[in-house]
Amino acid sequence: MQQTAYAELKRALGDSALVLLEGSAGSGKTTLIKRLIGEVRGTRLTPRDLFSVSTGAAHAALDGPLVRLIEDALARHDLVVFEDFDTLHTILDGPAYVRYRFWAAGMHALLDRIRHEGKRLVFTASDFSASSAPEFDKIPLLTERGARVAIAEPDADEYGFHLQRALGAEALASEDIQRIYEHSPKLNPWQLQMLAGVIRTGGRRDVAFIKEALDKRIAQTNLRLREVEKIELEDLKGFEHIVAELTTHVINPLKADPRFAGLALRPKRGVLLYGPPGTGKTSVGRALAHRMKGKFFLIDGTVAADPASTFYSLVQWNFRQAKRAAPSVVFIDDADVLFQSDRATGLSRYLLTMLDGLESESAGKVAVILTAMNPNHLPPALLRSGRVELWLETSLPDEDARAEMLGKYLKDAPAAFGTYDVTHAAALSEGFNAADIRRLVMDVKALYARDILADRDPRSLGSYFDSAICDIREARELLQQAMHTKLAAGM
Amino acid sequence: MTSTAHDTTAELTLSPAQEAAFRQLVDAVRAFPLVLLEGDAGAGKTTLVERLIRERGGGLRLDGRQILAETSDGAHTGTEEPLLRFLEDSLAANDLLVIEDIESLEAESAHRAYARRGSLTALLRMVFSHVLDAGKTLVLTRTPSSNYPLLAVTDIAQRILTVRIPPLAAEDYAFLLRHEIGEERIEASSLFQHSPGLSVIQLLQLARLARHSGRFDARSVRDLVDTRITHHNTRTEEIADLSLDDLKGFGHIAEALTTYVLNPLRSDARVKGLGLRPKRGVLLYGPPGTGKTSVGRALARQMHGRFFMIDGSIAPDPAVTFYARVRQIIQLAKRSAPCMLFIDDADVLMQSGYSPGFTRYFLSLMDGMESETAGRIAIILTAMNPGHLPPALLRSGRVELWLQTTPPPASARTEMLASHVATLPDELRRFDPMKLDVLTDGFNAADMRRIAADVKALYARDVIEGRAIAPADTYFERATRNVHRYRELLRLAEAGQLV
C-alpha cells in the first residue's frame, strides 16, 4: 500500500506545486516523506518547528510565523514537507481564531512564486474529518491549488502485516487475523500497534480474548455499560416478533459468521421502533447495548442539554466513532422528542446525510435505530426519504404476556411474600403497558414494606395488588386529564 | 499527593478495586507507551501513578500547579510553546512522565472563546511522537466530566490506551475503612448500601472523622456521611425545621411519599430483599400556596444531605451556565444516590427559554438507557398546573405518582392559625374560630400565614399609637378582609381585567 501511495505522491508532485498526503494514524506517512526527501533535495517541518519560532508571539499570531517558516525553508530547499498540518488547520480555521483563515492569503502568494521556481510543498494530515474545522474539501487553498494523495486504509492483509511485524510471523493464524478484521475492520495502523501490545502483554492469543481487548481497550464508546440494566434480548417478554426482526435484519448482518460470509449481508440502514410510552423501546436498546458492547453508540436527551456549540460535535462524534467501530449500532432514543427543537432542522438534515453516507461506504456496516412514541412527530423529510427501512411497532402486552412479566418480576421476591396467582392481576391490568406492570410489582413491594416498617401485619398479596392496580389506573386517569387540559388550551 | 504518614506503606493501601486497576495500568504501560488513566474525583489516580513510578524505579509526576507555573508569564502570549518545551524537557530527564488532570487543559483548549481552540490536539500529537521516538512512557490522568472520552472531537482518544478505575464495591469499603481505623469497627456493607458512591478519599476522610468522634455504630456513621462527607446544594440549616408529620392536612401525601419514596430510599434490614426502588417521577401539583414547597422542605429535612434542588434561582443564568449548573447538580446527585432531586415550579422552569433541551435532558435522566445509578434518584416535580408541563414529559408516562395539594380544610386552617398565633399576647388569641372558618373558606396556607401577620401588624399599630385595643375578633376580621381584597385583585389580574 505504501508502494502505491509513494508512486501516486511522485506523480502528483509532477503536476502540482502543493500536495496533500493523507493517511490515518500510523499509516506510514513519515516513512514515505523521509524516502521522498532523501531523493529530492527536501526538508521536513512539523508543528513543533512552528512552536519553536512562535514562542512569545501573541495567541492569535500563529499564521505569520507559519508562512515565514515555510518561506524560509523553500528558499533553501526544492521540496518542503509540513507534517501534521491537520492539527494546525484546526486552530487556524477554528471559529475562535481571530485571524480566521488569514494564513491562506500568505500561502497563495507563496504558491504563485514557487510554481515559477519549480519548487514543491507537501502537507501531511491524518485526521481532517475529526477536527471541528471544515474538512479538506472545504479548504479553498487545498481544493483550488492542491492535489490529494491518500494512503489506503488497511485491509485484512495489512492487518496481518502490522500484527505480525509486532508479534512475530507465527503469532496469529491467518484465519484469526481475518476474524479480527471482520470484528473491527476500521482499525488504523496505530490502533493495530496498540492491539499488538495488548496481545503481547496479555499472554493470550485466542480470538475471544482479542475481541474482548478490542471492545474494552481499543473501542471508544459513550455508554457506560455498568449503568445499563442487564437485559438479554431473549428475556423481553412479548417482544418475540421484534427480537426476531432485529436479529434477521440488524444483528445477523452485523455479525461476521463464516457460514454466510459470501452473502455480503448488510443491516437495514434505518430502523424505527415506535409505540406508546412504556412499551419497552428503551429496554430493547438496553439489551442491544449489552449484546453489542463497545459497538453501541447512544444519542439521547443528555446530548440535547449541552450548549448548541457542542451538540453537533457530540452527535458527529457518535457517528464518526460508530463508523470507525463498524459493524456497530447508533441508537437514537426518543428521536421524536429530540427532533422537536430549535436545532431539529439541522439535525434531521444531518441524519439524512449520515444515513446516505452509511450506505455508500463499502465496509460501513452501521445500523441506525430510532425510537419514537409518535412517528408522526419525526421530520417528514426523514420518513419520506425511505431511509427508515424497517418499522417495528411495540405494543401493549396481552393478558398472557402480562402474566408472564408479572411472574418474572415476582420470581425473586422473598418467601415471606407468599404465593399469588398472577393470572388474577394479569386479568385486572387490561391496558397496562410493560412499564406499568413493572411499576405494579414495585408498588406492591413498597406497600408491603410500608406495613412491615410501620410494624403492622402485612395484608394479603392479593389486596396489595388490587390497591396498586387502582392507584396506577388513577395516575393514568390524571395523566389523561392533564393532556386534555393541554389540548383544550391549544398547547 | 498521599500524606507522608502513609508513604512507606502506600503499597498496602490499595483496595481490591484499586489493585485490579493498578494491574491493568501496569499491563497497559507494558503494552503501549501512551496510557490514559481515568477515574472519578477521589478514586485514587494519584496513588496509582505514584506507585507505578515507585515500581518502575523512577519517573516524574506533573500536576496542574506545575503546568500553570510553566505557562503563565503574565501576558497574553501563546501558552502552548512554553508548555511543549517544558514537557519535552521533562521527558528528556525521565523515562516515565505522568501528566495529571489533563481535563483542565482539555477544557481550556475546547472552550469556544479560546483563541487557539483545539490546540491540545496539536500539542499532544507532538508529545506523543516524541515519546514514541525516544522510547519513553507517558501516562495522562483524567477525571471525566461527561460520558465522552478524551477530546471527543479529535482523534487523540484513538492514539492512547485507556484504563478506567472501577467504582468501589462493598469489599473495597471494608478494606479502606479497616486500613484507616485498624480494625473492623464500621459495618461496611450497610454503609455501602446507604452510600454506594463514595470515593477513596471520602471513605478515608469518613474513617478519620469516625475515629475522631469515637462513634462507629451504623447510625452515627450515616450521619457523618450525610452531614460532613456528601455534597448537596441545599443548606439544611436554612430550611425550617419541619417534618412530614407536622404538615397539617397532608396525610395522604405524607403516606404516599413515605411508601413510594422515603422507604425505598432507606436501607432497612427488614425489607432488604425486596430490591425496592423509589418512584422516579413524583408530581406535586396544586394551586399556589397549598404547601408544595413546604412538602419539599420537610423532605429536605428528612433526607439530610441527600436532597438536591433545582429551582428558579438558576434560570436567570445564560443557557451555557444553566446547563452546566444543572449537569453539576445531577452529577452530585448521582454520586450521592440514593437521594432526592426536587425541581420546584417545574411547569414554570420548563416553559422558560431553555425548555426543549431541559425537558429532553430530564426524560433521559428519568428513564434513559443508563438507569442503574439514576434509578436511585427520586425526582420530585412541583407544578401549579400539570397541564403546563411539557407534553413530551407527560406523554412519556414517566410521572408515576400524582399528588394533589389542595386548599386546607377548615380544621387544618384552624390548626395553622393556632400555631401562627401561639406566641401572641393572650388578648389576641381570644378569637372565635367558628366565625373565622366561615370567613376563610377557600384560603390556603399562605393566606392563613398572612392573616396572622396582618393581625400582629394591626395590633402593633394600635399599641404604638396609644389607641384602645380592640377585641381579638375585630383584628382577625380586618386581616381576613385584607386577604379577601388581595385575592380578588389577584383574580382580576390573572383574568387580565385589572385596570
Q: How many CA atoms lie within 13 A of A41 on its CB side?
A: 8
pLDDT tier at A258 (50, 70, 90 boundaries)? confident
Cβ–Cβ below 8 Å for B118 and A90: yes
Number of DSSP helices (H) and strands (E) in chain A, helices first: 23, 10
Cβ–Cβ below 8 Å for B155 and A56: no
Q: Helix A434-453 crosses helix A399-410 at what angle (to 10 degrees)? A: 40
* pLDDT cut 70: percent of chain B above it: 88
CB atoms within 10 A of CB A395: 17
Adjacent-strand bridge partners of B342: B309, B380
Place of cell 530527564: B93
Adjacent-strand bridge partners of A20: A123, A148
Chain A, 9-68: which have a CB under 8 Å from a chain B CB? 25, 46-48, 51-52, 54-60, 62
Q: What whole-number distance in Å separates Cα of residue B389 and Cα of residue B381?
A: 10
Q: Is residue B78 within 8 Å of A58, Cβ to Cβ?
A: yes
Give chain A's radius of gyration (CA, Å).
Answer: 29
Query: A330 — contact with chain B (CB < 8 Å)?
Result: no
Share the mean pLDDT of chain A.
Answer: 84
Closest CA to B127 of B161, B159, B151, B163: B159
Torsional sign, CA B206, B212, B213, B214: positive
pLDDT tens column, A424-454: 999 999 999 888 998 999 999 999 999 999 9
- Provide the edge-to-edge strand list for the sheet that holds A42-45: A42-45, A79-82, A120-125, A18-22, A146-150
Q: Is residue A427 within 8 Å of A309, Cβ to Cβ?
A: no
| DSSP string computed for B440-488 | TTT--HHHHHHHHHHHHHHHHHHHHTTPPPPPHHHHHHHHHHHHHHHHH
Cβ–Cβ below 8 Å for B82 and A55: yes
Start-end of H helices in B182-291:
188-194, 200-213, 218-224, 251-257, 263-265
Identify which of B323, B372, B399 has the shortest CB distance to residue A305.
Answer: B323
Cβ–Cβ below 8 Å for A58 and B78: yes
Determine the residue among B155, B327, B330 to mutate to test chain A binding: the one whose Cβ has the most chain A Cβ atoms within 10 Å: B155
Identify which of A222, A331, A374 has the shortest CB distance to residue B148.
Answer: A222
Identify which of A193, A227, A282 has the shortest CB distance to residue B367.
Answer: A282
What's the confidence (pLDDT) of residue A34?
92
Secondary structure letter of residue B79 according to DSSP: S
Identity of the amino acid at A301: G
Cβ–Cβ below 8 Å for B275 and A226: no
Cβ–Cβ below 8 Å for A486 and B126: no
Cβ–Cβ below 8 Å for B118 and A482: no
Cβ–Cβ below 8 Å for A132 and B116: no
**Using a CB-CB distance cutoff of 8 angstroms, which residues of chain A are in contact with residue B400?**
439, 475
pLDDT tens column, A386-421: 788 899 999 899 999 899 989 988 887 777 777 788
What's the confidence (pLDDT) of residue B33?
96
Q: Which three cell numbers stand for residue A15?
A: 503536476
Identify which of A59, A194, A307 has the shortest CB distance to residue B323.
Answer: A307
| DSSP string computed for B88-108 | HHHHHH-SEEEE--HHHHHHH
Determine the residue among B36, B370, B398, B399 to mutate to test chain A binding: the one whose Cβ has the most chain A Cβ atoms within 10 Å: B370
Cβ–Cβ below 8 Å for B369 and A286: yes
What's the confidence (pLDDT) of residue B276?
87
Torsion from C-alpha of B246, B251, B252, B258, nearest 10 degrees: 50
What's the confidence (pLDDT) of residue A130?
46
First to last CA, chain A: 61
Spacing of C-alpha A319 from chain mean position:
4
H/E run at residue B434: helix B433-439
The CA distances from residue B149 to A323, B45, B156, B324, in Å, are 16, 17, 9, 18
Q: What whole-number distance in Å separates Cα of residue B406 and Cα of residue B442?
A: 9
Residue A419 to chain B, least CA–CA distance (Å): 15
Q: What whole-number distance in Å separates Cα of residue A83 and Cα of residue A126?
A: 9
Secondary structure letter of residue B408 according to DSSP: P
Angle, CA B310 vertex, CA B309 and CA B313 arms, to 5°: 115
Residue of A nearest to B163 (CA): A217
Residue of A nearest to B166 (CA): A226
ipTM: 0.81
Spacing of C-alpha A183 from chain mean position:
16
Q: Which three cell numbers stand for residue A25?
A: 494514524
| DSSP string computed for A387-449 | -EEEEEE-----HHHHHHHHHHHHTTS-GGG----HHHHHHHTTT--HHHHHHHHHHHHHHHH
Classify residue B45 as left (phi > 0), alpha (psi -120 to 50) or beta. alpha
Residue B410 to chain A, least CA–CA distance (Å): 26
**Using a CB-CB distance cutoff of 8 angstroms, which residues of chain B are in contact with residue A188?**
158
Determine the residue among A33, A53, A59 to mutate to test chain B binding: the one whose Cβ has the most chain B Cβ atoms within 10 Å: A59
pLDDT tier at B241 (50, 70, 90 boundaries)? low
Torsion from C-alpha of A85, A89, A90, A93, nearest 10 degrees: 180
Residue of B nearest to A336 (CA): B392
pLDDT tens column, A351-366: 777 777 766 654 458 8
pLDDT tier at A26 (50, 70, 90 boundaries)? confident
Identify which of A60, A412, A413 has the shortest CB distance to residue B115.
Answer: A60
Adjacent-strand bridge partners of B284: B382, B403
Which of A411-415, B73-77, B100-104 is the least confident region? B73-77
Identify which of A88, A305, A340 has the shortest CB distance to residue B358.
Answer: A305
pLDDT tens column, A48-70: 999 888 877 766 678 888 999 99
Angle, CA A76 vertex, CA A73 and CA A80 arms, to 5°: 45
Cβ–Cβ below 8 Å for B121 and A90: yes
Cβ–Cβ below 8 Å for A302 and B401: no
Residue B221 to chain A, least CA–CA distance (Å): 22
pLDDT tier at A129 (50, 70, 90 boundaries)? low
Determine the residue among B25, B121, B320 to mutate to test chain A binding: the one whose Cβ has the most chain A Cβ atoms within 10 Å: B121
Cβ–Cβ below 8 Å for B149 and A450: no
Share the mean pLDDT of chain B.
Answer: 83
**0.90 surpassed by pTM:** no
Q: Is residue A198 within 8 Å of B161, Cβ to Cβ?
A: yes
Cβ contacts of residue B210 below 8 Å, gap of 6+? B181, B185, B186, B216, B220, B221, B224
H/E run at residue A253: helix A252-254
Identify which of A95, A289, A449 has the shortest CB distance to residue B369.
Answer: A289
pLDDT tens column, B315-360: 666 666 777 788 788 888 888 888 889 998 888 887 765 556 777 7
Whether residue B338 has a cis bond before it, omega within 30° of 0: yes
What backbone phi and psi angles, to 5 degrees, belong to A368?
A: -105, 120
pLDDT tier at A309 (50, 70, 90 boundaries)? low
